[in-house]
Chains A and B, each alone.
Chain A
């Protein structure tokens, strides 16, 4: 794996390499698809496991992660990239990778629906996948209040009570200490 990262560094600028829980490399947005092509064709990472996104609302950024697998080396490599986070209804944009793996189409449709990230040129990108005719903020964005939306839309049944998990478990596991504190 170290040899592979050395090889990548010769051609691409990597801003970050972590090996804490699996190997993840971070590259620039414009380099991402060419890096993926290099990893697929030269280094043998032939299998795309998933594409996922993280909403860093504080930094105003989306983090995309492409998780790749090499059947030959029996190892996985994550490619991370940061893209600009747009304010809804404007959509963020990223290059499509469907020409490398046809399965990328489905992940990109999901990201388009759940995060509002557009992949121009990806097939069927505008068709509804899970949500049909969604007209609010994409639900996986962190500025979308799912509890409020549910209460306004789906007629909550009265009588539901909630407990603070830490207090509740403390009382359940150590009832005597709870008495002392009270």
Chain B
């Protein structure tokens, strides 16, 4: 099967010469305009315990959810912002872009095509960042457990803090999961970002096993 090569698009861009304010000339790789490929690093907690506790309290009380519905479970997120469930009273907000968000709700099944976008979005989110796995599909594949194009275990590709069972779970279950996530953050156990940095090679190997057109840097933020 003849297939289009997306990688060619980036390679076609030529290097350009940039002059700094001091008059120094240096070459810029066009890849660097769009991606920074430095590896993630582990952020240890603050040594002063009360400060860390205060920071965790702040993180828990300002939950900014990325508005990226990856599967059918995303439909359960919409009622949360309506007057009936009113998630805003728990400090939950929705944000349009990964760079403004702290919580990524994976709404159900993740196909391989979506998985590529999930990885990109997760890596672009600024730390500290947390992941909620909504529906059975994120736990063991759910009803798509033997599908040719759907991942079975989400935690092999990105670290997950809280799972929500059900197919579909009610919006109340999502509210409860947000409550559990708050408790985890406040007790300092929500260390998904550091887990990702520590086991970076393992996560990358798993991601590259399924995403065959890997045309992006290993880590981008």
Contacts and interface: CB of A to CB of B under 8 A. Distances in A.
Interface stretch (A52-60, A100-108, A123-131): A123-131
Interface in B128-170: 139-141, 145-153, 156
A149 B140 CA distance: 16
A157 B212 CA distance: 23
A45 to B, nearest CB: 32
Interface residues on A, range: 20 to 34
Contacts of B145: 150, 156, 160
Contacts of A151: 146
B19 interface: no
B2 A131 contact: no
Given A131-B112, A156-B141, A160-B140, A146 B148 contact: yes
B210 interface: yes
Contact of A130 (B113, B153, B212): B113
A112 B4 CA distance: 15
B209 interface: yes
A163 B84 CA distance: 39
A139 B149 contact: yes
B1 to A, nearest CB: 7
B141 A132 contact: no
A126 B4 contact: yes
Interface residues of B, number: 27
Contacts of A157: 139-141, 152-153
A132 B148 contact: no
Nearest to A154: B152
Contacts of B153: 154-157
Contact of B112 (A91, A132, A135, A144): A132
A154 B111 CA distance: 11
B146 A147 contact: yes
Nearest to A91: B1
Interface of A: 89, 91, 126-128, 130-135, 139, 144, 146-147, 149-151, 153-157, 159-160
Interface of B: 1-4, 111-113, 116, 139-141, 145-153, 156, 206, 209-213
Given A131-B149, A153-B210, 6 more contacts: A127-B3, A134-B212, A155-B206, A157-B140, A157-B152, A160-B145
10 closest cross-chain pairs (CB), A and B: A133-B212, A157-B140, A154-B152, A147-B146, A133-B213, A139-B148, A146-B148, A150-B146, A126-B2, A155-B153
17 contacts: A91-B1, A126-B3, A127-B3, A128-B3, A130-B149, A131-B113, A132-B212, A133-B212, A134-B212, A150-B141, A150-B148, A150-B150, A154-B151, A154-B152, A157-B152, A157-B153, A160-B140
